[in-house]
Amino acid sequence: MKNLQLLLTKPCTQQWSHIESADGNHHCSKCEKNIIDLSGKSDKELLLFFQNKKENVCGRVLASQLNRALILPSSRLNWQWLVPFALSAFIISPADAQNLKPVVLQSEQHPKSSSISSELSHYLPAPNTIITGKVVQNNNGNALVGVKIRKKGDEQVLAVTDSTGKFEFNIKDIDRLSKFIFSLNGFANVETDIHDKIVVKLATEQRIMLGGISIVSKNKTPLYYVMAGNKSCIIDPSKISEISPDWIERIEVLKDANTTAMYGAKGANGVILIEIKKAYKKKIKFSK
């Protein structure tokens, strides 16, 4: 299979409705030719039409038939006529296919050439480009394996580096203007332009390890812990004056490592245990 394109050079100013006659034919007074409607032709039919034409013609085509590769049949055809082919047309959007305006196609006969392949490469550049390259570690140049390459904004992985850090993938010519992202766990992502034989250097991620986090309270007031039998509660220091000395069975001051272990950060400044006599335990509103 070969890929060729129909290329637009100059748009025709004639309107399709102006060149339609009552008998259904279309004749252009500007070029003095009958206009042939090619908008419904397949790629193969288009190629066969121009191969077999005997004289210059004008025709109507869709914009979707222009500036793209035409898929040719595998049988050998005489392609010399198509190499220098240029279009002189008024482009029609495929969305307007129901109300087609005239697209006039102008062609000229050229002498045949024996060097077809060189002419094809000049007029029809390859639509895709092969990109090769290598990814290494920035500080020692060691090859990095498993680096994933994506186009920015797209989650599709285009390539993954092999055991030598090398990669290869195809991109469209228009994508050469895009940014590409190289990513590997443990390394900072690199966003860069792309070109063939590129060498990308990845740096290891900078990580800061934090030790245990402790809370330092500026409040040096101890924790007041009131209990009576199997009931207990923490009381605000400002409420201590409301407890009558007659209610108190005993007072114990705790201040060591075990205190913090038992009461947490609240007991860092010490704990004052106040035990209430059973006869007065109803005087205290214990938490449930």
- 227, two tokens: 């209990």
pLDDT digits (tens, 9 = 90+) for 40-97: 788 788 778 777 776 667 777 777 777 776 776 555 545 444 444 444 443 444 444 4
First to last CA, the chain: 86
Cα gap 186→210, rounded to integer Å: 18
pLDDT digits (tens, 9 = 90+) for 194-245: 999 999 999 998 766 655 555 555 667 888 888 888 888 888 888 888 888 8
The CB density around residue 226, as the number of other CB atoms within 10 Å, is 22
Q: Which residues pair with 35 in a beta bridge?
A: 58
Q: Which of 113, 115, 108, 179 is nearest to 149 (CA)?
A: 179
Q: What is the structure's pLDDT at 135?
A: 96
| Domains in the chain with CATH codes | 3-123 (no CATH), 128-202 (2.60.40.1120), 223-283 (no CATH)
